[in-house]
Structure 1
Amino acid sequence: MNTEVRNLEPKALWNNFADLNAVPRPSKKEERVISFIKEFGESLGLETYVDETGNVIIKKPATKGMENRQTVAIQSHLDMVHQKNADTNFDFDTQGIEMYVDGDWVKANGTTLGADNGMGVASIMTLLASKDIAHPAIEALFTIDEETGMTGAMGLKGGLLDASIMLNLDTEDDRELTIGCAGGVDITATGRYEQESTSFDGTKGYKLVVKGLTGGHSGMDIYLGRGNANKLMNRLLLQAVQQFGLQIAVIDGGGLRNAIPRESFAVVAVPQAEEANFKAFVEDQKTILKKEYATTDPNLQVTLEETAAPAQVATREFTGQLLRAIYACPNGIYRMSPEIKHLVQTSNNLARVLVKDGEYSLLCLTRSSVDTEKKDLAIAIKSALELAGASVELSGSYPGWMPKPDATIVKLMSDIYRSKFNEEPDVNACHAGLECGILGANYPEMEMISFGPNIRGAHSPDEKVQVSSVQKYWDFLLETLQRVPEKV
């Protein structure tokens, strides 16, 4: 399956991508990929260093005739989001990604592909190993744990890099030159609740499932209005509790903070007398939701299957408090930027809901390019959840990246893009967490820009990367390196 990918052009880049994808590399479990990249640098005889956080830095001298050009840092992150379809049998901790070519796209078999940010990593590997590509002195920076905390970027100390320019290879549209991004903060609500036996005779047990949603990146795709499985499940449950006296044993929905939830299930107890009404209600709601989300989530499913009646359920008081708190929790776009057209300024993703065995947790990721607004929304969510009795922690806050449209590298790459592709690049800021804002704290004089090939469906099993776009992006990267300005 991966052999087909290795034959794509440029072969060196795709082979490095295939080699990388053979290495399990989940966020916070990057030991194997750190060793892989370290050994790669050392095998080339290049200066290779692993800092105390786990970031890998590999330095390569300029090619002949390029010694007087400014040093360029080229940066990508080693970790990838691990998501798979419910019916896909795959172990991310032990298996390499199974890739295949579908026309002009490379996809994975039921899992995330890892093009985010594996294409960037593979590109840097290709530059480091090349013997015939002209380039200035390169400082390759491979960071860790970008997807779940920006740990690598936060841990990188000043003084390790000498570059005056940084190329971040973590953008997902080949027309975009990204020069700013959103910051973020994690919201974690936890608590305990009392359980009780069902309060009626003739209890019927059911498993309610919301699945088949499109999902996607909780920053880049949040403007698309895709369904959030946690919010849709909560909508069904609150109505069913109010109408039929339904009681809840388990709610289990969503996963990673940076992925729009695609699936949720709940185990519930229904009075036998209300069984027919409950089934009819689910069918009606299925029709309503499929109509509402026909455009964004055409594969949405709502299913109901009979199961053993749960022995214990959450108390009615707690159930009402929790479901109302989830209803009150903002999800999706909170505010659009009044300055930058089409840019989401602030949003929230209700990423995870778990209610089981007397304990519950809710996970959110709040993003904004305005740090004070990010904090304000996070406090609003915290307040709503605390009213329901939850203990709420705000953590992992990271800053946004302030755009500098007049930077030399921005003007240079815009000119190159216009000349090569006969169209205007989309110079913008994005509603995602790029590491540039954090890295810039210790390297404030460094000019930064982010770009990459067309990647669609990142953070979901629908992730794919476009072959022709990779070729376009690679050509763009090589010419940029050839035209880096001389040292001042």
Structure 2
Amino acid sequence: MSSSIRTLSPGLLWQFFDTICSIPHPSGHEAALRQWITDWAQTQGLIVVQDAIGNLIIRKSATAGMENRKGVILQAHMDMVPQANADVEHDFTKDPIQPYIDGDWVRARGTTLGADNGIGLAACLAVLADNKVQHGPLEVLITVDEESGMTGAFGLAPNLLQGEILLNTDSEQDGDVYMGCAGGVDANITLPYLAEEVPANHQAIRLTITGLRGGHSGINIHQNRASANKLLAELLVEIEKLEQVRLSEVSGGTLRNAIAREAAALFTLPSSSLDALTQLVERLQLTYQQEFKGVDDFICLELKPAGLPTRIMSTDLQGRLSAALLACPHGVMAMSRQMEGVVQSSTNLGVIDTQAEHIYVQCLIRSLSDVGRDKVAATTAAVFRLAGAECQFAGAYPGWQPDPDSAIMQLLLQSHQQLFGVVPEVKVIHAGLECGLFKAIYPHWDMVSFGPTIQGAHSPAERVHIDAVARFWQLLVSVLKLIPETKL
């Protein structure tokens, strides 16, 4: 199914991106897209290797006269973050993304667009398809499951790739290039559900928090956006002060790496307490709207009647849970002392979910240093262990330490200045690029990351700037042409 984005330039890149959008590929469900890429590459006469973890490596010979250039690895990830607005029914494992042009931007209808990292993936495929692009020996590395655990990067085998230079396409700001990134770890927390019977005179009511912007838990964490989960925590503590309002369920957020846009709680209470609860919610909505004015302008707190649950939390559990969620670290924990304006450490209270036997909480902790990461992890564990919860950490990955002597960085800066008359800013991104893991496996690689402007990643507000995509393509093609010769 084609769409209007196929009319955009550069044509090959946008055509590939449109095809990528048409094939469902959330994290953990990349098989169909991987098969399509494999079939397409083989029809082009390219060498395709699938490794044990599901990553693809596609090899293309050097263009005539460039056989002696250093080998380059173009890299993108195959999966996307699945987020949809509450009023949109979308099965990310079956339904295609619906991109459309909105002025200078491309968006999706009611869902994440998947420009993160679909645009980078489309650019890699376009290089393989366009025989006018000049390059030395080329490999395209397409990893799986980057967004939910970096499984593909973790599982990448040594000695599988032959190149010396890696160009990562997973950055999101035109005019910036990246030479470092944060590492991270997941905090997985469980608090046993201690249940009581619902009092006979109680009715049920559901509180919902909606209308928040959300966003990327690394890139947007310093922008003071509201977290629905932290607002819910504040509400729970205030509601505890009301008589006979009992908590049955809590939920909020869907991904550890997205700032929570929505949250909900199910209460039971006697009719005599309903007015006090209503007044409290109305007051707090006004408070939040004023607090986040200009940042999150559409915060909505709403109470609706609900079906009576079969259980409520014990008063002790309700108090411990409310206190733990309120005390749970969230947001920027420290700024870098070496790089002005760069976040050193942060954490995101990403997911809250009431399950059969426990309440589950998941946080994603990021830091430019392992020490900083571990300090925030220790604080998080202490908070929840005081509340009687179990806290386990998983999926720790290293940051990518900046290399001031990087030759590919200098080449990219020079190329950018020649093309656009401006030297780009060199930055360290507070997000988990796969480069840190690659460096541990292939320490000799010279790496850089760049990409077009993408805003609202990890949320349905995601959009990619059309002109920035064209500049990204120009820069990529230029850099490939200028890769130096291999030293004999």
- TMscore range, shorter length: over 0.9
TM-score (norm 2): 0.98
Could you tell me which residue of structure 2 aligns to residue 424 of structure 1?
423
Could you tell me which residue of structure 2 aligns to residue 28 of structure 1?
28
Q: Distance in 1 between matches of 2:243 and 2:34?
A: 54
Q: Which amino acid aligns with 1:213?
A: L
Contact 1:195 1:358 in 2 (8 A): no
Give structure 1 regions of 4+ aligned residues with deviation exceeding 6 angstroms. Answer: none
Could you say what the CA RMSD is over the residues aligned between the two structures, in angstroms? 1.2
1:323-381 alpha-carbon deviations (Å, 9 max, x no partner): 11111110000001011111111000000111254421000000001101101211111
Q: How does 1:214-229 map to 2 (within 5 A)?
A: 214-229=213-228
Could you tell me which residue of structure 2 aligns to residue 5 of structure 1?
5
Q: Distance in 1 between matches of 2:479 and 2:352?
A: 45
Could you tell me which residue of structure 1 aligns to residue 202 of structure 2?
203
Could you tell me which residue of structure 1 aligns to residue 177 of structure 2?
177
Could you tell me which residue of structure 2 aligns to residue 351 of structure 1?
350
Q: Distance in 2 between matches of 1:53 and 1:310?
A: 42
Q: How does 1:262-411 map to 2 (within 5 A)?
A: 262-411=261-410
Q: Which amino acid aligns with 1:238?
A: V
TM-fit CA distance, 1:2: 4.5
Could you tell me which residue of structure 2 aligns to residue 159 of structure 1?
159
Question: Which stretch of structure 1 is more off in the superposition, 41-50 or 237-246?
Answer: 237-246
Q: How does 1:81-120 map to 2 (within 5 A)?
A: 81-120=81-120
Contact 2:188 2:361 in 1 (8 A): yes
Q: Which amino acid aligns with 1:306?
A: P
TM-fit CA distance, 1:132: 1.4
**Number of residue pairs matched by the alignment:** 487
Q: Distance in 1 between matches of 2:441 and 2:354?
A: 41
TM-fit CA distance, 1:446: 0.8
Could you tell me which residue of structure 2 aligns to residue 444 of structure 1?
443
Could you tell me which residue of structure 2 aligns to residue 135 of structure 1?
135
Contact 2:242 2:276 in 1 (8 A): no
Could you tell me which residue of structure 2 aligns to residue 47 of structure 1?
47
Could you tell me which residue of structure 2 aligns to residue 59 of structure 1?
59
Q: Distance in 2 between matches of 1:393 and 1:357?
A: 19
Q: Which amino acid aligns with 2:38?
A: K
SS of 1:189's equivalent in the other structure is strand
1:227-261 alpha-carbon deviations (Å, 9 max, x no partner): 11111011111111123332111111101111000
Q: Distance in 2 between matches of 1:297 and 1:416?
A: 38
Question: Which stretch of structure 1 is more off in the superposition, 240-249 or 13-22?
Answer: 240-249
Q: Distance in 2 between matches of 1:219 and 1:269?
A: 36
1:306-339 alpha-carbon deviations (Å, 9 max, x no partner): 2234342100001101111111110000001011
TM-fit CA distance, 1:197: 2.2
Q: Distance in 2 between matches of 1:311 and 1:129?
A: 58
Structure 2 gap segments, 5+ residues each = none
Q: Distance in 2 between matches of 1:295 and 1:302?
A: 18
TM-score (norm 1): 0.98
TM-fit CA distance, 1:23: 1.1
TM-fit CA distance, 1:165: 0.6
Q: Distance in 2 between matches of 1:128 and 1:38?
A: 12
Contact 2:76 2:143 in 1 (8 A): yes
Q: Distance in 1 between matches of 2:184 and 2:128?
A: 32
Question: Which stretch of structure 1 is more off in the superposition, 240-249 or 400-409?
Answer: 240-249
Q: Distance in 1 between matches of 2:222 and 2:132?
A: 42
Q: Which amino acid aligns with 1:440?
A: K
TM-fit CA distance, 1:405: 2.2
Contact 1:2 1:99 in 2 (8 A): no
Q: Distance in 2 between matches of 1:194 and 1:256?
A: 25
Contact 2:242 2:273 in 1 (8 A): no
